[in-house]
């Protein structure tokens, strides 16, 4: 078989504010691969099917001397993030041709790896689309599931407030909370997202760009559980409207500050005055919940008990713009790059 | 017996910034009391011995329409706070003449109460000075003890950072942490306080006014447990230098923001990026630890295992200035007003 193009998306430059396609990240189709002959050295050859675009990727576009929970992207090397692909060839004892692997992927069409431990072979008895496994069935779903199990401690009658309630993390939190019979308030940044939130059972869904978060929480709260994906003004409004004492704030992300100076949250004193408990976490520290996740969540998805919405773009050329869309909230659902069909 | 003066300290006016003696609070000696004849109506007559001046009192000098964990002071009425007194007369079945009562006292020399449940009869087998029972043996000590038990979860090798480490709360935390064999870093605002912190076993004691908190934590950390009494820049430095993941931040108070605009803490994203857990609390919500406190702490104090330092002022006339001193950190130890000898 003749060599094929093995396109990739390279991390080119650390952005100041928002990433810029073609500058921060560069699509490059200059490399080739011979799928039959490329040496495996005891490893396996993977064809990338889907790649995930997630908000946290912005944090990896930094000077590598700054330590954080995930390594910085390497300049001149492909981006990496969660993906699903299929094994084309294998010399590895635990990986078979045709296996579908979930894990951290380089942003390229084909790659060889020897590290079987960093991938999970997906069973997919439910025959879900592979893209689901980077969304509600992957890292975002795990983020919601694991932290909800670990920190939410829901009680009958609790009121829950979820930010980015139409995103894959927020929407999963919403549906886990509704499964417990709780009242759910949720915000997002467009009318389309508000409609989706209503369709998955949110009791009070609103557009934070046109409706004041503080006013909604004042009327519909106080809140017992806050799922924070945005920080800033939403966090300030939640602190002010926390049930007293013992509200649980699950601190999952603060996208409002990723691309600009952080907002001055002026009422941190409410943390002690209202006896609020805040739980920061990164999903990779909660892997003890992973087996339970794969046992329960794909089934709930296939039965329609967890609904989701995807924003699928086709081809690695779209990665740069998809990253910007996710940082600015322009995506219409979980952002996924469909790299290839099987 | 002829009527005696029954002096008091009245809350006169809500302050804008720092409270002002004679304006915010007014000493008033215009009332009298006849100790033999004043009617008890089934209650008991108490002679106030000591009153406590605590940082949190600033929060009660507010518009009563603003709800908080403790009621606002009433204009024209005496201040109230923790105190110890002795019972001079009683018609109450559970309160005897000579009992020493700990509880919430009006700032006056004598008063009648019927509410026995809001006081604790102090046994004081250890014969400690009564002032101790509003300091390390009272609310501040309970604050340290209860929250340490509930939230610190100390592990061998943990590094602890305590702000206001010379105050009654901070110094108790320091000594509980040292009793567990942990490394303790602690800050305060004068050389005298630094010397006291060293005398109670602090490993790294520093004056935050002359030494940069961030630099100390960078060198001596990362920190596993942070006892926050001040908020603002110290909180920012602690967030930046938290051990990863799972550092416990015990949020006890934020005195740096009580009398001025709050400092802009710019790195709240570290809460999730470092997996930090913050526990806001008010001591009145942790009373389940109270019996254990009275069983263990007075004994530790009498054996010298918990040392303390007091700043005793004599007479209700000194209350206004003592409040300012506590808000500005001018006090030399736990601030106590000695109202009368027995």
Q: Is residue A292 domain-resident?
A: no
Complex ipTM tops 0.90: no
Label the pairing between strands A4-5 and B32-33: unpaired
CB contact under 8 A, A271 and B253: no
Is residue B301 one of the residues assigned to a domain? no
The verdict on B84 and B163 lying in the same domain is no
Q: Tell how strand B100-106 and strand B110-113 pair up.
A: unpaired
Distance of alpha carbon B158 from the chain centroid: 26
One domain, residues B101 and B24:
yes
Contact between chains at B280 and A285 (C-beta distance less than 8 A):
no
Q: Does B318 share its domain with B191? A: no
Phi/psi zone of residue B109: left (φ > 0), alpha (ψ -120 to 50 degrees), beta? alpha
Looking up tokens 């390594």 gives: A71
The C-alpha atoms of residue A279 and residue A271 are separated, in whole angstroms, by: 12
Residue B262 tokens, joined = 């709050």
Q: Is residue A296 part of a domain?
A: no
State the CB neighbour count (10 A cutoff) for residue B264: 14
Smallest Cα distance from A297 to chain B, Å:
24
Tokens read off for B77 = 């009425």
Contacts for A308-311 with beta carbons within 8 Å, 24 or more apart? A308/A132, A308/A135, A308/A136, A308/A168, A308/A171, A308/A172, A308/A333, A308/A334, A309/A166, A309/A171, A309/A196, A309/A333, A309/A334, A310/A131, A310/A135, A310/A334, A310/A335, A310/A336, A311/A335, A311/A336
- Whether A173 and A267 map to the same domain: the answer is yes
| Mutation for B interface: A268, A274, A276, A283, most B CBs within 10 A | A268
Query: pLDDT value at position B146?
Result: 98
> Measured between alpha carbons, how far is B145 from B175 in angstroms, rounded to an integer?
10
- Angle value at C-alpha A223, between A222 and A226, nearest 5 degrees: 155
B270 belongs to a structural domain: yes
Q: Are B336 and B51 in contact (CB under 8 A)?
A: yes
pLDDT of amino acid B332: 84
pLDDT tens-digit profile of B205-258?
999 999 999 999 999 999 999 999 999 999 999 999 999 999 999 999 887 776
- Residues A175, A79, single domain; the answer is no
> Distance (Å, rounded) from C-alpha A102 to C-alpha A121?
6
Sign (positive/negative) of CA torsion A209, A213, A215, A219?
positive
In whole angstroms, what is the distance from residue B288 CA to residue B150 CA?
10
Neighboring chain B residues of A268 at a CB cutoff of 8 Å? 231, 235, 254, 257, 262, 265
| Cβ-based neighbour number of residue B212 at 10 Å | 12
B208 shares a domain with B266: yes
Determine, for residues A244 and B69 on separate chains, whether the beta-carbon distance falls below 8 Å: yes
pLDDT score at A208: 96
Joined tokens for residue B317:
């006339």
pLDDT attached to residue B248: 98
Per-residue pLDDT of chain A (342 residues; tens, 9 = 90+): 789 999 999 999 999 999 999 999 999 999 999 999 999 999 999 999 999 999 899 999 999 998 877 899 999 999 999 999 999 999 999 999 999 999 999 999 999 999 999 999 999 999 999 999 999 999 999 999 999 999 999 999 999 999 999 999 999 999 999 999 999 999 999 999 999 999 999 999 999 999 999 999 999 999 999 999 999 999 999 999 999 999 999 999 887 776 667 788 999 999 999 999 999 999 989 999 999 999 999 999 999 999 999 999 999 999 999 999 999 989 888 999 999 998
Cβ atoms within 10 Å, residue B51: 28
The span from the CA of B108 to the CA of B9, in Å, is: 7
How many residues comprise chain B? 342
Read off the CATH number of the domain in which B149 is found: 3.40.50.720
10 Å CB burial of residue B59 (0-12, 13-18, 19+) is middle
Measured between beta carbons, the chain B residues lying within 8 angstroms of A251 are 271-272
Which residues are bridge partners to A209 per DSSP? none
| Rounded CA separation A174/A203 (Å) | 10
Ranges of chain B whose pLDDT falls below 70: 258-260
How far is residue B11's CA from residue B75's CA, in Å, rounded to a whole number?
5
Same domain? A59 vs A171: no
DSSP summary character for residue A121:
E
Q: How far is CA A327 from CA A230, B48, B217, B333, B335, in A?
A: 11, 62, 33, 51, 51
Is B280 in Cβ contact with A272 (below 8 Å)?
Answer: yes
Select from A265, A278, A282 the Cβ nearest to the Cβ of B277. A278
Domain membership of residue A276 (yes or no) is: yes
3-state secondary structure of A295: helix
Contact A272 B252 (CB under 8 A): yes
Distance between CA atoms of residues B254 and B235, nearest Å: 9
Q: Give the residue numbers spanning the domain of B193.
A: 139-284
Q: How many CB pairs under 8 A join A and B?
A: 102
Distance, in Å, from the CA atom of A283 to the CA atom of A145, rounded to the nearest integer, reads 9
Pairing relationship of beta strands B100-106 and B80-90 according to DSSP bridges: antiparallel
Q: Is residue B289 part of a domain?
A: no
Reported pTM: 0.87
Q: Phi/psi of residue A177, each to 5°? A: -70, -40
Q: Look at residue B304 in the predicted model and tell me its pLDDT.
A: 92
Residue A69 within any structural domain of the chain: yes
B260 and B275 belong to one structural domain: yes
- Report the CATH number at residue B313: 3.90.180.10
What are B94's two structure tokens?
């559970």
Distance from B258 to chain A by nearest Cα, in Å? 9
Which residues from B are below 8 Å from A266, CB to CB? 261-262
Q: Are residues A277 and A235 in the same domain?
A: yes
The confidence score (pLDDT) of residue A258 equals 67
User: Do residues A70 and A154 share a domain?
Assistant: no
CB-facing half-sphere around the CA of B238: CA atoms within 13 A: 29
What is the number of structural domains in chain A? 2
Contact A268 B235 (CB under 8 A): yes
Indicate the residue of B253, B275, B282 with minimum beta-carbon distance to A245.
B282
Whether A178 contacts A184, CB under 8 Å: yes
Distance from B110 to chain A by nearest Cα, in Å?
Answer: 31
Q: Are residues A197 and A176 in the same domain?
A: yes
Same domain for B110 and B178, yes or no, is no
Chain B nearest-CA distance from A217, in A, is: 16
Phi and psi, residue B93, nearest 5°: -65, -25
In a domain, residue B290? The reply is no
* DSSP bridge partners of B105: B81
* Alpha-carbon separation of residue A48 from A45, A94, A109 (angstroms): 10, 19, 5
Show the CA angle centred on residue A266, arms to residues A262 and A272, nearest 5°.
115
């Amino acid at each position: 078989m003749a060599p094929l193009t093995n396109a990739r998306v390279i991390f080119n430059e650390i952005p100041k504010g928002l990433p810029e396609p073609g500058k921060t990240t560069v699509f490059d189709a200059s490399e080739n691969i011979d799928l039959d002959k490329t040496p495996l050295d005891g490893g396996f050859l993977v064809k990338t099917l889907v790649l995930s675009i997630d908000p946290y990727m912005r944090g990896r576009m930094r000077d590598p001397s700054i330590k954080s929970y995930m390594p910085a992207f390497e300049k001149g090397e492909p981006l990496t993030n969660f993906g699903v692909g299929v094994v084309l060839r294998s010399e590895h004892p635990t990986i078979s041709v045709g296996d579908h692997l979930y894990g951290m992927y380089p942003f390229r069409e084909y790659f060889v790896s020897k590290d079987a431990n960093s991938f999970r072979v997906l069973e997919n008895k439910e025959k879900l689309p592979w893209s689901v496994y980077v969304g509600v069935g992957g890292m975002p779903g795990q983020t919601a599931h694991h932290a909800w199990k670990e920190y939410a401690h829901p009680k009958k009658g609790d009121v829950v407030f979820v930010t980015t309630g139409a995103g894959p993390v927020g929407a999963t939190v919403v549906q886990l909370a509704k499964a417990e019979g709780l009242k759910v308030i949720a915000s997002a940044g467009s009318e389309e997202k508000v409609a989706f939130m209503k369709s998955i059972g949110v009791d009070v869904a609103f557009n934070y760009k046109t409706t004041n978060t503080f006013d909604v929480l004042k009327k519909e709260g106080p809140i017992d559980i806050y799922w924070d994906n945005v920080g800033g003004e939403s966090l300030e409004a939640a602190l002010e409207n926390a049930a007293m004492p013992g509200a649980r704030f699950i601190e999952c992300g603060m996208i409002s500050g990723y691309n600009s100076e952080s907002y001055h949250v002026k009422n941190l004193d409410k943390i002690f005055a209202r006896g609020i408990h805040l739980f920061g976490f990164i999903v990779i520290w909660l892997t003890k919940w992973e087996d339970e996740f794969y046992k329960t969540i794909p089934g709930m998805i296939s039965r329609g008990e967890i609904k989701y919405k995807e924003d699928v773009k086709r081809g690695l050329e779209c990665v740069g713009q998809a990253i910007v869309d996710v940082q600015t909230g322009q995506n219409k659902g979980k952002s996924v790059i469909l790299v290839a069909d099987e």
